């Protein structure tokens, strides 16, 4: 009689996780999910008050959490902060922005703001975290927060799509490069999630109706819809996944 296979653990005890854009929304949800799964979590954002409040809430639950006040667009500061810290086993590369408008109205300032945060900063955050892991010979899981818009196009989102398609590309290349070192790189690709950043978009009833018509499950996403996926990609349960995109979109991209 054969023994039954064992389900790999979804727990991440003993691991250090860095979450960027962690002051609210998806970032705070990611930090909460990983802390509840046993990780020691560092909440990173440029708004000290928000991440401080997040640390207080997590600590009150008995979770291990601390704050790193950092502007991730300051690449020198990023490099120095990661070099000074103990290696992070998990990175949730979540800081990002969007400026929806018709392509013909996109300004140079719009381009630099969106591509600067969503691509430039995200790229060099991966580099800093992965370099430290490789230097000390540790495996790890890097999760770049992409979007369904990294797989499709959409009106008024040419710039955002460009940034997320770029993220999808560099994530796959990094996955290939880092695989011999046991550092996995995947993307998480949500549909429209109700967060402080997206709240203003849905004040437009026509836009909201159009979005809901494209999400086959008929509702907007919530941050809770992403928390299980974040733990999965961070844990040994996804140990054979690298260079992949986990699309949590309610069926948007199924067409």
Residues marked active site are found at 160
Q: Which residues pair with 246 in a beta bridge?
A: 188
DSSP E strand boundaries for 133-175:
140-145
DSSP E strand boundaries for 34-180:
40-45, 65-69, 90-93, 140-145
* For the chain, counts of helices (H) and of strands (E): 8, 7
Q: Where are the alpha helices (DSSP H) in 37-96?
A: 48-60, 75-84
- The first and second tokens of residue 40, run together, are 């020691």
Q: Angle 48-60/25-36 helices, nearest 10 degrees?
A: 30
Closest CA to 155 of 115, 105, 198: 105
Closest CA to 157 of 122, 208, 110: 110
CA 187 to chain centre: 7
Closest CA to 157 of 94, 201, 121: 201
Instruction: Say whether 138 sits in a helix, a strand or coil.
Output: coil
């Amino acid at each position: 009689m054969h023994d039954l296979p064992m389900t790999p653990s979804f727990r991440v005890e003993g691991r250090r996780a860095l979450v960027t854009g962690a002051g609210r929304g998806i970032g705070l949800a990611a930090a909460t999910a990983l802390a509840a799964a046993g990780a020691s979590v560092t909440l990173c954002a440029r708004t000290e008050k928000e991440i401080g409040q997040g640390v207080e809430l997590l600590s009150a639950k008995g979770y291990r959490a601390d704050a790193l006040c950092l502007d991730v667009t300051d690449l020198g500061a990023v490099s120095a902060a990661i070099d000074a810290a103990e290696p992070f086993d998990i990175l949730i590369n979540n800081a990002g922005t969007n400026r929806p408008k018709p392509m013909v109205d996109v300004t140079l300032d719009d381009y630099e703001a969106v591509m600067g945060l969503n691509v430039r900063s995200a790229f060099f955050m991966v580099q800093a975290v992965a370099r430290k892991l490789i230097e000390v010979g540790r495996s790890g899981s890097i999760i770049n927060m992409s979007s369904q818009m990294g797989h499709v196009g959409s009106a008024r989102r040419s710039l955002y799509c460009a940034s997320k398609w770029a993220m999808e590309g560099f994530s796959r290349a990094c996955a290939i490069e880092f695989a011999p070192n046991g550092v996995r790189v995947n993307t998480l690709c949500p549909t429209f999630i109700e967060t402080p950043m997206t709240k203003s978009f849905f004040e437009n009833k026509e836009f909201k109706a159009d979005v809901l018509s494209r999400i086959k499950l008929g509702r907007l996403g919530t941050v809770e819809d992403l928390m299980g996926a974040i733990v999965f990609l961070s844990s040994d349960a996804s140990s054979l996944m690298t260079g992949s995109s986990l699309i949590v979109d309610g069926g948007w991209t199924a067409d």
